[in-house]
C-alpha cells in the first residue's frame, strides 16, 4: 500500500472548506445533550470545562499537524503502516474505521430517537433509518466534492438556529453562575472529558489532509473550525446553565432542544418541532462524513471498491437500527463510543507523534521517513 | 446503405449528356414532380438548369441567372460561368450526392454539356416570419425583439448584439436523416477553451436522425438526463443570448428554432432576468432576491401547510389556529387531499390556458379563478386559507424568468406535498435535503450547477445573488475560468475626480 497519496486535481478541495468540515463533524447530535452531561460533572462552572476541552483540542490539532508534517501527503492509514508495519498498521486502521462506523451509527439512532420523542412517538425506527440512509447513500455516492458541498451548504442553512436562542438568552438568570470557580480542578477536567463524544470528529483531518489543495493554509481553517464548534457548545452550555435551574437541567435529556420551546413569534408558536426537523441538516453532514471515512478507509486498506462498501454499510445501518429502539441501548452505545473515542482520538495521537519522530530520528542518516518506503 | 454512398462519393458522374442526367435525377426524385429541369440551346451549346421550384427565389433566378446566361453572345464553360454570372458564392460539384444535397438546400444547378463538373448557386427562398416581440420571456425594459425560426435572422441579431470580430459562429451539421445546421457561438478571446471544446464535442459526436428543436437538442446533450432541472438555458431573447456570450459563455443556435441555447449556466441563471441589468443596481438586486424568495415559497408553502395542519398544529399560534380551524371545519378531506386537489386545479387551469387561443384563455382564467375558487370553498371542498396559499405559490412560480424553470418548480411541489402529508416536517426536511444534494451533484457542461455558492466564490456572488453598481463589476464570472476575466479597468472605474477637475 502506498503511504503517500497522489490525489487527482479534480478531487482536491480548497483548505478553507476544512472549517466547515470540522464544524460539521464536531457538531452533530452531541451538542443537543452535552450541557447536561458537563453540568453533572462540573456544576455551574461547566463553561470552564468547555474552555479546557477546547484548549486540549488545540493542543491535539497541533500534534496531528506535527504527525502529518514529516510526510509528503499521507493519511492516518499510511502513517500507521509506515510506523507499525503492514499487519499491525492495518489492524489499527481497521479499529479506526470501526470507530467511525460506531460513531455514524450512534448519530443515526440518536437522531431517530430525538425525532421519535419530539415529533412522532409511533415512528418506525427502520422506516426513519431508511430515509436517512437514503440521503447518506445519495450524497456519498457523489464523491468527496459533493460531500464537502453538503457540509458547506448545510452549515450555512442550519446556523440560523443560533438566532432562535435570543429569547432564552434574554430570560437567563445570571445568578445561576454564582458563586463562580467553586468546582475543583478534577471536577472541571471530568467535565471536559465528558465533551469527548461531542467534540469527536477532528480525527477526520487525518483522512482528509491528503485531499487539501493548498497545504500551507490548512491550519487556520482547522483551528477556526474547532474554535467555532467550541463557541457553539460554549453558548449552549452557558444558556442552558443560565436558563434552567440545576434540577431542570438534570431532568432534561436534550436540554438544548428544550431551550427552543419558549421561543415564539406571532406566526410560529413553537419552534422545537421545526428545530428537530432542521436538525437533520446538522446531523446529515456528520453522518455523510463518517460514512465517507469508512468507505474510503476500507478502500485504502483492503482495496474493496467504495461503492460495494457503501451499499453494505448503509444496509447494515438500516438493519441494525431495528434493534436499537430502547434508550438504554443507545446510551450504552454512545458511552462505549465516547470511551473508545477518548483513547483513539484524544490520547493515541500523542503516542503516534512520539513514534513518528523516533522513527524519523533513527532513519535520519538515510533520509527522511517518506523516502524510506 | 452507408457503404454504397461512400462508393459513389469517389467517382464523379460527369461528364454526361443532359438526357442522361435528367433520367438519373428523376430516379432519385421518384414521384416528385417539383424538380424543374430545363434544357436551353445557346450558341450551339446545350445547357441544363435545374432546381426545386418552391425552394428557390424564382425572380432572382430569372433576373440574375437566366438573363445573363441566355443573353450572352459567347459560348459558356464553367470558369466563365463562375466569373461572369453576377451572383456570388457559386461553386462546383461532381457527385450525385452533392447535387441532391444542394438541391434540397435551395441551390440552382447549371450543367453545360460535356463539362467535367457542375456549377451551382445558392438562391434559397427562405420563408420566415417577421421579427416580433418576445412572448414567453417578456420584458418591460430593454430590447423587446425575439429570435425567429430563421437561423440567418438569429445570427444577424446575435452579430448586432456583439459587434466584434472575436465572435465566432462555428457551423456544425447534425442529423443523419435530415441534416440541420447549428451554430456554435462564442467569443474566442473570452470564453473558456474547455467549455467550447466540450460543447463542440457533444454536438459533433451526436448521432441522431434529426433534431426537432433546440429544446430537443438540449435534452440530447445535457449532463444528466434523469434530472428534473434544466441544465442549459434556453432563451428567445437575442439580448440575453449575446449578453451571455459576451460574458464568456457558449451559445448554440439551431436552424428552424426560435430559441438559443446558453451553457454553462448555474441554478441562479434561471432566476436572473436581463431586466435586472437594465434597472438600477439596488432595485435589480431587490427583484433578484425577491425571485429567490418566490422560488422557496413556491416549493415549500403548500407542503408546509399540509405538514403543519396534518401533524404539528401546535406550531400555529392560537388566534391563527382558530381562524384556520373555522375555515377547515367544513372540509371533509385530510389536508393532503385538499392541497393536491387545489394544486391540480391550478395546474389544469395553467395548462388549459396555454393550449387555448388567447381570447378563450382569458375567459378560462376568470372561470377557473373566480368561479371554481369561490365555489370550491362554498361547496366545502377546500378551505379559504389554502386557496390563498396555493394561489400565492402558483404566482411565485411564475416569477421565474425561465419558463422551463418555472415548470420545474411547479412540478417539484407535488412530491413535496406528498412528503409533507406523509411525514410532516421531517418529510419536508428530507425533501429539501434531497434537493440540495441533487443540485450539488448536477453539472452544466461539466461545471458545478450551484457555483458560485458551491464551489464558493465570493467574487461571483454579485453576479448571481444580487447586483452591485457597475463600477464594482469589473470582473466577469470568475468560477468559469475565462480567458479574459476583466471587463474594464478597475482603477479607472473607481477613480474619483477632484472638485473642479
Q: DSSP secondary structure string, B75-99?
A: ---HHHHHHHSS-SS-EEE-SHHHH
Q: Considering only residues 247 to 276 of chain A, which have any Cβ-Cβ distance to chain B shorter than 8 Å?
A: 264-270, 273-274, 276
B322 touches chain A (CB under 8 A): no
Q: What is the pLDDT of residues B476-500, one digit of tens each?
A: 888 888 888 888 777 777 777 777 7
Q: Do A280 and B428 touch (CB under 8 A)?
A: no
Of A131, A153, A268, nearest to B315 by CB-CB distance is: A268
C-alpha cell at A193: 472529558
| B299 φ/ψ angles, rounded to the nearest 5 degrees | -80, -35
**Rounded to whole angstroms, how far apart are CA atoms B149 and B131?**
10
Mean pLDDT of chain A: 91
HSE, side-chain direction, 13 A CA sphere, residue B173 = 6
A214 touches chain B (CB under 8 A): no
| Per-residue model confidence (pLDDT) at position A370 | 52
Nearest C-alpha neighbor of A32 from the set A246, A190, A240, A330: A240
**Rounded to whole angstroms, how far apart are CA atoms B464 and B267?**
9
Q: B338: cis peptide before it, omega within 30°? A: no
Q: Please give, rounded to a whole number of angstroms, the shortest distance from the CA of B322 to a CA of chain A.
A: 13
C-alpha cell at A83: 510506523
| B73 φ/ψ angles, rounded to the nearest 5 degrees | -95, 0
The arrangement of strands across the sheet holding B107-112 comes to: B35-42, B45-52, B107-112, B118-122, B91-93
C-alpha cell at B369: 379563478
3-state DSSP assignment of residue B388: helix
Q: Considering only residues 276 to 305 of chain A, which have any Cβ-Cβ distance to chain B shorter than 8 Å?
A: 276-278, 280-281, 284
Task: List b or e across A273-283, with b for residues whose CB sees 16 or more CB atoms inside 10 angstroms.
Answer: bbbbbbbbbbb
Q: Do B314 and A270 touch (CB under 8 A)?
A: yes
For residues A202 and A61, is the Cβ–Cβ distance under 8 A? Answer: yes
| Per-residue model confidence (pLDDT) at position A136 | 96
Q: Do A119 and B316 touch (CB under 8 A)?
A: no
Residue B74 has pLDDT above 90, yes or no: no
Place of cell 450525385: B96
Residue with the bigger pLDDT between B64 and B286: it is B286
Of the listed ranges B137-141, B374-378, B454-458, the least confidently predicted one is B374-378
B426 touches chain A (CB under 8 A): yes
Which whole-number Å values give the CA distances from A72 to A368, B199, B311, in the listed order?
A: 10, 38, 55
Which among A273, A278, A288 is the top mutation candidate for probing chain B, defined by the most B β-carbons within 10 Å of its own β-carbon?
Answer: A273
For residues B262 and B238, is the Cβ–Cβ distance under 8 A? Answer: no
ipTM of the assembly?
0.94
**Rounded to whole angstroms, how far apart are CA atoms A281 and A6?**
32
Count up the domains in chain A and report the number.
1
**Rounded to whole angstroms, how far apart are CA atoms A101 and A290?**
7
| Per-residue model confidence (pLDDT) at position B33 | 75
Of A131, A149, A278, nearest to B440 by CB-CB distance is: A149
Q: What is the pLDDT of residues A100-140, one digit of tens each?
A: 999 999 999 999 999 999 999 988 999 999 999 999 999 99
Q: Which chain B residues are within 8 Å of A280, Cβ to Cβ?
A: 426, 429-430, 433
Which among A115, A116, A148, A153 is the top mutation candidate for probing chain B, defined by the most B β-carbons within 10 Å of its own β-carbon?
Answer: A153
| Per-residue model confidence (pLDDT) at position B6 | 45
Helix axes A272-302, A125-140, angle to 10 degrees: 60
- Residues A341-360: what's their mean pLDDT? 91
What pLDDT band is residue B51 in, cutting at 50, 70 and 90? confident
A119 touches chain B (CB under 8 A): yes
Q: Please give, rounded to a whole number of angstroms, the shortest distance from the CA of B433 to a CA of chain A.
A: 7
Q: What is the pLDDT of residues A249-264, one digit of tens each?
A: 988 888 999 899 888 8
Of the listed ranges A176-185, A351-360, B16-25, B223-232, the least confidently predicted one is B16-25
Residue with the bigger pLDDT between B88 and A281: it is A281
Q: How crowded is residue B284: how many other Cβ atoms within 10 Å of its Cβ? A: 19
DSSP A244: S
| Per-residue model confidence (pLDDT) at position A365 | 59
**Rounded to whole angstroms, how far apart are CA atoms B301 and B417?**
9
C-alpha cell at B322: 382558530
Q: Which chain B residues are within 8 Å of A149, Cβ to Cβ?
A: 440, 450, 454-455
Where residue B232 falls (left for φ over 0; alpha for ψ -120 to 50; beta otherwise) is beta
B437 touches chain A (CB under 8 A): yes
Of B426, B428, B440, nearest to A146 by CB-CB distance is: B440
Q: What is the pLDDT of residues B118-163, one digit of tens each?
A: 888 888 887 788 888 888 888 888 888 999 999 999 999 999 989 9
Residue A2 lies in a domain: no
Q: Considering only residues 177 to 196 of chain B, which have any Cβ-Cβ distance to chain A shorter than 8 Å?
A: none
Q: Which chain B residues are within 8 Å of A135, Cβ to Cβ?
A: 430, 433-434, 437
Which among A20, A269, A278, A292 is the top mutation candidate for probing chain B, defined by the most B β-carbons within 10 Å of its own β-carbon?
Answer: A269
Where residue A201 falls (left for φ over 0; alpha for ψ -120 to 50; beta otherwise) is left
- Please give the helix or strand (H or E) that residue B243 lies within, else none: helix B238-246
C-alpha cell at A180: 463562580
| Per-residue model confidence (pLDDT) at position B3 | 44
Q: Do B311 and A119 touch (CB under 8 A)?
A: yes
- Residues B377-403: what's their mean pLDDT? 88
The residue in chain B having the minimum alpha-carbon distance to the alpha carbon of residue A13 is: B455
Q: Do B318 and A149 touch (CB under 8 A)?
A: no
What pLDDT band is residue A54 in, cutting at 50, 70 and 90? very high
B318 touches chain A (CB under 8 A): yes
Q: Do A135 and B317 touch (CB under 8 A)?
A: no
Which whole-number Å values give the CA distances from A99 to A290, B43, B255, B408, in the listed order?
A: 9, 98, 60, 42
DSSP A28: S
**Rounded to whole angstroms, how far apart are CA atoms B439 and A146?**
9
**Rounded to whole angstroms, how far apart are CA atoms A166 and A350?**
40
Residue B55 has pLDDT above 90, yes or no: no
C-alpha cell at A232: 457553539
Q: Please give, rounded to a whole number of angstroms, the shortest distance from the CA of B320 to a CA of chain A.
A: 8
Q: Which residues pair with B125 in a beta bridge?
A: none
Residue A133 lies in a domain: yes
Nearest 10 degrees: CA dihedral of B280, B282, B288, B293?
-150
Q: How crowded is residue A319: how many other Cβ atoms within 10 Å of its Cβ? A: 12
HSE, side-chain direction, 13 A CA sphere, residue B45 = 20
What pLDDT band is residue B4 in, cutting at 50, 70 and 90? very low
| Per-residue model confidence (pLDDT) at position A315 | 95
What pLDDT band is residue B5 in, cutting at 50, 70 and 90? very low
A87 touches chain B (CB under 8 A): no
Domain of A352, CATH number, reads 1.20.1740.10
| Per-residue model confidence (pLDDT) at position B10 | 54
**Rounded to whole angstroms, how far apart are CA atoms B325 and B75?**
96
Residue A63 lies in a domain: yes
Of the listed ranges A53-62, A342-351, B77-86, B446-455, the least confidently predicted one is B77-86
Give the contacts of A168 (CB within 8 A, at least 6 positions apart): A239, A243, A259, A262, A263
Give the contacts of A200 (CB within 8 A, at least 6 positions apart): A26, A30, A103, A337, A338, A341, A345
| Per-residue model confidence (pLDDT) at position A111 | 94
For residues B419 and B427, is the Cβ–Cβ distance under 8 A? Answer: yes
Residue A3 lies in a domain: no
Q: What is the pLDDT of residues A327-339, one digit of tens each?
A: 899 999 999 999 9
**Rounded to whole angstroms, how far apart are CA atoms A258 and A168?**
10
Q: Please give, rounded to a whole number of angstroms, the shortest distance from the CA of B415 to a CA of chain A.
A: 15
Q: Please give, rounded to a whole number of angstroms, the shortest distance from the CA of B172 to a CA of chain A.
A: 30
Place of cell 386545479: B345
- Enumerate the domain spans of chain B: 2-122, 151-265, 289-447, 458-493
Q: Do A115 and B426 touch (CB under 8 A)?
A: yes
- Residues B197-218: what's their mean pLDDT? 92
Residue B449 has pLDDT above 90, yes or no: yes
Residue A1 lies in a domain: no
Residue A327's domain comprises 9-371
- Please give the helix or strand (H or E) that residue B260 lies within, else none: strand B260-263
- Residues B240-250: what's their mean pLDDT? 92
What pLDDT band is residue B57 in, cutting at 50, 70 and 90? confident
Q: Which chain B residues are within 8 Å of A266, Cβ to Cβ?
A: 317
Q: Do B440 and A264 touch (CB under 8 A)?
A: no
- Residues B16-32: what's their mean pLDDT? 79
Residue A4 lies in a domain: no
Q: Please give, rounded to a whole number of angstroms, the shortest distance from the CA of B423 to a CA of chain A.
A: 9
Residue A333 lies in a domain: yes
Residue A243 has pLDDT above 90, yes or no: yes
Place of cell 489499527: A92
Q: What is the pLDDT of residues B417-426, one digit of tens each?
A: 999 999 999 9
Q: Which chain A residues are within 8 Å of B424, Cβ to Cβ?
A: 119-120, 277
Q: Considering only residues 120 to 179 of chain A, which have any Cβ-Cβ distance to chain B shorter than 8 Å?
A: 120, 128, 131, 135, 138-139, 142, 146, 149-150, 152-154, 157
For residues B240 and B171, is the Cβ–Cβ distance under 8 A? Answer: no
Residue A372 has pLDDT above 70, yes or no: no
The residue in chain B having the minimum alpha-carbon distance to the alpha carbon of residue A14 is: B455
Residue A371 has pLDDT above 70, yes or no: no
3-state DSSP assignment of residue B305: helix
**Rounded to whole angstroms, how far apart are CA atoms A121 and A190?**
34
Q: Please give, rounded to a whole number of angstroms, the shortest distance from the CA of A230 to a CA of chain B.
A: 24
Q: Do B426 and A120 touch (CB under 8 A)?
A: yes
Residue with the bigger pLDDT between B442 and B128: it is B442
Mean pLDDT of chain B: 87
| Per-residue model confidence (pLDDT) at position B93 | 82
For residues A104 and A291, is the Cβ–Cβ distance under 8 A? Answer: yes
Task: List b or e across A169-193, with b for residues whose CB sees 16 or more CB atoms inside 10 angstroms.
Answer: eeebeeebeeeeeebeeebbbbbbb
Terminus-to-terminus CA distance in chain B, angstroms? 77
Helices (H), ranges, A119-183: 125-140, 144-158, 166-170
Written as one string, the DSSP assignment of B453-495 is TTTT-GGGHHHHT----GGG--B--GGGT-S--BSS-HHHHHP
Which among A122, A127, A149, A150 is the top mutation candidate for probing chain B, defined by the most B β-carbons within 10 Å of its own β-carbon?
Answer: A149
Residue with the bigger pLDDT between B17 and B154: it is B154
Q: Do A281 and B433 touch (CB under 8 A)?
A: yes
Task: Tell me the count of A-B CB pairs closer than 8 A.
Answer: 84
- Residues B164-172: what's their mean pLDDT? 91
Q: How crowded is residue A122: how many other Cβ atoms within 10 Å of its Cβ? A: 5
Nearest C-alpha neighbor of B397 from the set B386, B412, B409, B413: B409
Where residue A14 falls (left for φ over 0; alpha for ψ -120 to 50; beta otherwise) is beta
Q: Please give, rounded to a whole number of angstroms, the shortest distance from the CA of A278 to a CA of chain B.
A: 7
Using DSSP bridges, classify how beta strands B35-42 and B45-52 pair: parallel, antiparallel or unpaired: antiparallel
Terminus-to-terminus CA distance in chain A, angstroms? 10
Q: Considering only residues 441 to 500 of chain B, which have any Cβ-Cβ distance to chain A shorter than 8 Å?
A: 441, 450, 453-456
| B95 φ/ψ angles, rounded to the nearest 5 degrees | -105, 160
Which among A14, A131, A132, A164 is the top mutation candidate for probing chain B, defined by the most B β-carbons within 10 Å of its own β-carbon?
Answer: A131
- Please give the helix or strand (H or E) that residue B174 lies within, else none: strand B167-174
Q: Please give, rounded to a whole number of angstroms, the shortest distance from the CA of A275 to a CA of chain B.
A: 10
Amino acid at each position: 500500500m502506498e503511504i503517500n497519496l497522489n490525489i487527482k486535481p479534480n478531487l482536491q478541495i480548497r483548505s478553507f472548506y476544512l472549517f466547515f468540515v470540522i464544524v460539521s463533524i464536531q457538531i452533530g447530535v452531541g451538542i443537543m445533550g452535552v450541557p447536561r452531561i458537563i453540568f453533572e460533572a462540573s456544576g455551574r462552572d461547566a463553561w470552564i470545562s468547555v474552555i479546557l476541552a477546547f484548549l486540549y483540542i488545540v493542543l491535539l490539532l497541533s500534534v496531528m499537524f506535527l504527525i502529518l508534517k514529516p510526510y509528503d501527503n499521507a493519511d492516518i492509514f499510511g502513517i500507521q503502516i509506515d510506523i507499525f508495519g503492514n499487519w499491525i498498521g492495518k489492524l489499527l486502521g481497521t479499529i479506526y474505521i470501526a470507530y467511525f462506523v460506531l460513531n455514524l451509527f450512534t448519530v443515526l439512532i440518536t437522531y431517530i430517537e430525538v425525532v421519535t420523542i419530539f415529533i412522532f412517538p409511533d415512528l418506525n425506527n427502520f422506516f426513519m433509518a431508511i430515509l436517512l440512509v437514503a440521503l447518506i447513500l445519495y450524497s456519498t455516492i457523489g464523491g468527496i466534492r459533493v460531500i464537502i458541498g453538503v457540509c458547506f451548504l448545510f452549515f450555512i442553512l442550519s446556523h440560523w438556529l443560533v438566532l432562535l436562542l435570543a429569547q432564552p438568552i434574554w430570560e437567563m438568570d445570571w445568578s445561576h453562575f454564582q458563586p463562580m470557580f467553586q468546582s475543583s480542578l478534577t471536577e472541571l477536567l471530568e467535565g471536559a472529558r465528558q465533551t469527548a463524544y461531542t467534540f469527536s470528529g477532528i480525527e477526520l483531518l487525518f483522512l482528509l489532509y491528503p485531499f487539501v489543495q493548498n497545504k500551507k493554509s490548512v491550519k487556520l481553517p482547522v483551528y477556526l473550525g474547532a474554535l467555532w464548534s467550541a463557541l457553539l457548545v460554549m453558548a449552549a452550555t452557558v444558556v442552558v446553565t443560565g436558563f434552567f435551574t440545576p434540577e431542570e437541567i438534570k431532568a432534561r435529556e436534550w436540554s438544548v432542544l428544550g431551550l427552543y420551546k419558549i421561543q415564539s413569534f406571532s406566526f410560529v408558536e413553537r419552534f422545537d418541532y421545526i428545530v428537530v426537523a432542521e436538525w437533520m441538516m446538522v446531523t446529515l453532514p456528520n453522518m455523510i462524513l463518517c460514512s465517507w471515512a469508512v468507505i474510503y478507509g476500507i478502500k485504502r486498506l483492503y482495496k474493496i471498491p467504495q461503492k460495494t462498501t457503501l451499499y453494505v454499510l448503509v444496509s447494515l445501518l438500516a438493519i441494525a437500527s431495528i434493534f436499537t429502539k430502547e434508550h438504554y441501548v443507545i446510551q450504552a452505545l454512545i458511552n462505549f463510543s465516547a470511551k473508545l473515542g477518548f483513547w483513539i482520538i484524544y490520547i493515541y495521537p500523542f503516542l503516534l507523534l512520539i513514534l513518528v519522530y523516533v522513527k524519523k530520528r533513527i532513519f535520519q542518516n538515510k533520509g527522511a521517513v517518506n523516502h524510506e518506503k | 446503405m452507408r457503404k454504397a454512398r461512400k462508393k459513389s462519393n469517389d467517382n464523379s458522374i460527369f461528364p454526361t449528356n443532359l438526357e442522361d442526367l435528367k433520367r438519373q435525377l428523376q430516379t432519385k426524385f421518384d414521384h416528385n414532380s417539383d424538380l424543374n429541369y430545363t434544357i436551353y440551346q445557346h450558341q450551339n451549346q446545350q445547357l441544363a438548369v435545374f432546381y426545386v421550384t418552391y425552394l428557390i427565389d424564382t425572380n432572382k433566378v430569372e433576373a440574375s441567372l437566366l438573363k445573363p446566361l441566355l443573353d450572352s453572345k459567347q459560348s459558356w464553360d464553367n470558369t466563365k460561368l463562375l466569373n461572369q454570372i453576377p451572383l456570388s458564392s457559386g461553386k462546383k460539384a461532381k457527385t450525385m450526392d452533392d447535387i441532391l444535397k444542394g438541391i434540397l438546400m435551395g441551390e440552382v444547378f447549371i450543367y453545360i454539356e460535356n463539362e467535367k463538373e457542375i456549377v451551382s448557386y445558392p438562391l434559397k427562398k427562405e420563408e420566415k416570419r417577421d421579427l416580433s416581440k418576445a412572448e414567453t420571456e417578456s420584458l418591460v425594459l430593454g430590447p423587446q425583439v425575439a429570435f425567429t425560426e430563421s437561423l440567418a435572422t438569429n445570427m444577424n441579431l446575435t452579430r448586432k448584439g456583439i459587434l466584434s470580430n472575436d465572435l465566432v459562429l462555428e457551423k456544425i451539421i447534425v442529423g443523419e436523416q435530415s441534416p440541420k445546421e447549428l451554430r456554435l457561438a462564442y467569443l474566442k478571446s473570452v470564453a473558456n477553451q474547455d467549455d467550447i471544446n466540450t460543447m463542440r464535442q457533444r454536438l459533433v459526436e451526436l448521432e441522431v436522425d434529426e433534431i426537432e428543436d433546440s429544446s430537443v437538442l438540449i435534452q440530447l446533450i445535457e449532463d444528466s438526463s434523469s434530472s428534473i432541472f434544466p441544465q442549459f438555458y434556453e432563451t428567445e431573447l437575442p439580448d440575453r443570448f449575446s449578453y451571455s456570450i459576451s460574458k464568456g459563455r457558449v451559445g448554440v443556435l439551431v436552424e428552424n428554432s426560435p430559441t438559443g441555447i446558453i451553457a454553462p449556466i448555474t441554478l441562479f441563471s434561471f432566476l436572473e432576468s436581463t431586466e435586472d441589468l437594465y434597472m438600477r443596481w439596488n432595485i435589480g438586486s431587490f427583484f433578484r432576491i425577491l425571485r429567490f424568495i418566490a422560488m422557496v415559497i413556491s416549493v415549500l408553502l403548500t407542503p408546509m401547510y399540509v405538514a403543519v395542519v396534518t401533524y404539528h398544529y401546535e406550531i400555529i399560534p392560537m388566534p391563527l389556529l382558530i381562524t384556520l380551524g373555522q375555515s377547515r371545519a367544513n372540509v371533509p378531506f385530510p389536508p393532503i387531499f385538499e392541497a393536491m386537489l387545489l394544486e391540480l386545479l391550478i395546474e389544469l387551469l395553467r395548462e388549459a390556458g396555454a393550449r387555448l387561443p388567447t381570447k378563450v384563455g382569458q375567459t378560462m382564467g376568470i372561470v377557473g379563478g373566480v368561479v371554481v375558487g369561490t365555489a370550491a370553498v362554498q361547496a366545502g371542498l377546500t378551505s379559504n386559507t389554502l386557496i390563498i396559499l396555493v394561489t400565492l405559490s402558483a404566482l411565485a412560480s411564475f416569477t421565474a424568468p425561465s419558463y422551463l424553470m418555472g415548470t420545474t418548480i411547479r412540478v417539484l411541489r407535488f412530491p413535496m406535498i406528498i412528503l409533507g402529508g406523509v411525514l410532516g416536517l421531517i418529510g419536508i426536511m428530507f425533501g429539501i435535503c434531497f434537493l440540495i444534494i441533487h443540485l450539488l451533484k448536477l453539472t452544466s457542461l461539466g461545471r458545478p450547477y450551484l457555483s458560485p455558492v458551491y464551489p464558493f466564490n465570493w467574487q461571483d456572488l454579485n453576479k448571481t445573488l444580487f447586483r452591485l453598481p457597475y463600477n464594482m463589476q469589473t470582473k466577469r464570472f470568475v468560477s468559469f475560468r475565462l480567458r479574459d476575466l476583466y471587463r474594464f479597468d478597475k482603477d479607472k472605474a473607481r477613480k474619483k475626480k477632484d472638485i473642479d477637475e
